[in-house]
Amino acid sequence: MTRNDASHAALSDAEELGHEARAGRGDHAMLRLWLRMLASTTQIEGEIRRRLRARFGISLARFDYMAQLYRHRDGLKMRVLSRYLMVTGGNVTGLTDELEREGVVLRTASPEDRRAWIVSLTPKGVSAFEAMASEHEQWILEMFSGLDMKTVRLMHSQLGALRVHVMRGEPAGEES
């Protein structure tokens, strides 16, 4: 029995945390899988939130905001940034106001549309994000270290296939 098998065997359905505990033995495998994915994601997200707050004094929303701007070095219109973050424009405006006061982001008028603002990371913001991203990556590696690379690749592939089916609106398990 591998370390993962032993860890899994040690947990009964009644001991599982959060959403997963709601699935009983009589439920369908796909429902149990969904609940396991949800419980795992919630648990990992909670730990990342806790660590970001403890180590850097920031929220996951701020980290995600900075990550999007880091990926788009020329900046993003606030409307586009809002879509990437899947939050309202008001939330993006509030985060932008805070981060601008801290000198982490710069807000400039769009040359094409004076009603639109383009937000980008300042050098201070780039430096701060790179430090956070480096630790964040180590946390993820630590949390997933119980999985071998074959399993990681397989899970990544299968979850990608699931996303494609969901995006197409196809029932799971049907081929196109």
CATH number, residue 135: 1.10.10.10
Q: Are residues 133 and 88 located together in one domain of the fold?
A: yes
Q: Does any domain span residue 20?
A: yes
Structure tokens at 45: 């997200």
Q: Are residues 89 and 127 located together in one domain of the fold?
A: yes
Q: Does any domain span residue 64?
A: yes
Q: Are residues 34 and 114 located together in one domain of the fold?
A: no
The whole-number pLDDT of residue 88 equals: 73
Q: Are residues 38 and 73 located together in one domain of the fold?
A: no
Q: Are residues 132 and 142 located together in one domain of the fold?
A: yes
pTM: 0.76
Sorted by sequence, the CB contacts under 8 Å of residue 95 that are 6+ apart come out as 61, 62, 65
Residues pairing with 139 in the sheet: none
Per-residue pLDDT of the chain (176 residues), as tens digits, is 444 443 443 343 434 445 545 555 556 899 999 999 999 999 999 999 999 999 999 999 999 999 999 999 999 999 899 999 877 777 899 999 999 999 999 999 999 888 899 999 999 999 999 999 999 999 999 999 999 999 999 999 999 999 999 999 866 554 44
Q: Are residues 83 and 48 located together in one domain of the fold?
A: no
One-letter amino acid for residue 111 of the chain: P
Q: Are residues 71 and 130 located together in one domain of the fold?
A: yes
Q: Does any domain span residue 168?
A: no
Q: Rounded distance, CA 163 to CA 125, Å? A: 32
The C-alpha angle with vertex 56 and arms to 91 and 122, in degrees rounded to 5, equals 65
Longest dimension (CA), the chain: 64
The whole-number pLDDT of residue 67 equals: 97
Phi-psi region of 82 (alpha: psi -120 to 50; beta: other; left: phi over 0): alpha
Q: Are residues 116 and 145 located together in one domain of the fold?
A: yes
Structure tokens at 40: 């795992």
Question: How far is the CA of 59 from the CAs of 36, 62, 99, 122, in angstroms?
Answer: 25, 5, 12, 19
The whole-number pLDDT of residue 146 equals: 96
Picking from 17, 41, 57, the residue at the C-terminal end of a domain is 57
Do residues 68 and 85 lie in contact, with contact meaning Cβ atoms separated by under 8 Å?
Answer: yes
Q: Does any domain span residue 164?
A: no
Per-residue pLDDT reduced to its tens digit, 36-65: 999 999 999 999 999 999 999 999 999 999
Structure tokens at 101: 């006061």
Q: Are residues 98 and 136 located together in one domain of the fold?
A: yes
Q: Are residues 72 and 125 located together in one domain of the fold?
A: yes
In the chain, how many domains are there?
2
Q: Are residues 68 and 132 located together in one domain of the fold?
A: yes
What is the domain extent for residue 53? 1-57
Q: Are residues 43 and 75 located together in one domain of the fold?
A: no
